[in-house]
Amino acid sequence: MTQTLDVLLAPVAGQEAVPAPGYAHPGDAGADLLAAESLTLAAGARALVPTGVSIALPDGYAAFVVPRSGLAAKHGITVLNAPGTVDAGYRGEIKVTLLNTDSADDYAIEKGDRIAQLVIVPVVRARFVEVDTLPESLRGEGGFGSTGYSRLESGEATTEGSK
C-alpha cells in the first residue's frame, strides 16, 4: 500500500492559478508538473520553465524533479539537472530546467502541458565523521566500469541483500 503524505501547496503570487501536480494512476511515484506558460524550446536549447506552484515539504523529505520518459524517448526532452532537488525548506516556485536534446527539431510546450514529474522521497542527513582512513570493503576503489560490461559470470553474481 502506497504511503501518502500531506504536502502544503500554494499558487505562486501574482500568477494565474495552475492546477496542482497530479498522479496519473494510483500507485504512481511521480506527480506530473504542468508548465505555467507556453514556450518553444529550440533544438539544443534549454529553458527554466515555471510550474506556478510552490510547496512546503515536511522536514525529512525532499522532492525530485525528474524527466517524463515519453518526452525523453519520443522528443528528446529531458530535465538538464535531473534529478532536480527541491529542499524541504524551499518556498519558491518549483521550476523545471528543460533541455531539448534534439539537434534538429524545436519542441513547442503549451501552458498546462505535463512537462516533468515530482517524486517525493524521505531523506537522511549525514553527520560526516572525519577519519584518516576508511574501513576496507570488497569493492574498494573500483568504479566507473571496473566490473566490465559483459554479463557477470555465474558464481560472481550475488543475490545477497536482494531478498
Ligand X SMILES: O=c1ccn([C@H]2C[C@H](O)[C@@H](COP(=O)(O)OP(=O)(O)OP(=O)(O)O)O2)c(=O)[nH]1
User: Binding residue per annotation — 69?
Assistant: yes
All three cell numbers of 154, joined, read 555465474
Rounded (5°) CA angle 86-37-8: 35
Task: Write the interaction track for ligand X spanning residues 41-80; mark x where CB under 6 A is met and - where it is not.
Answer: ------------------------x---------------
Cβ of residue 141: shortest distance to ligand X, in angstroms? 28
Q: Give the long-range contacts of residues 82-89, CB within 8 A, separation 24 or more.
A: 83/119, 86/55, 86/57, 86/62, 86/118, 87/57, 87/62, 88/56, 88/57, 88/58, 88/59, 88/60, 88/61, 88/62
The size of the interface with ligand X (CB under 6 A), counted in residues, is 10
Cβ of residue 135: shortest distance to ligand X, in angstroms? 31
**Contact region with ligand X (CB under 6 A), list: 4-12, 33-41, 88-96, 148-156:** 88-96
**Contact region with ligand X (CB under 6 A), list: 11-19, 29-37, 67-75, 93-101:** 93-101
Out of 45, 90, 101, 113, the residue judged to bind ligand X by CB under 6 A: 90
Cβ of residue 14: shortest distance to ligand X, in angstroms? 17
Give every CB contact of residue 55 below 8 A, 6+ residues apart in sequence.
7, 8, 9, 10, 63, 86, 90, 94
Out of 85, 122, 142, 152, the residue judged to bind ligand X by CB under 6 A: 85
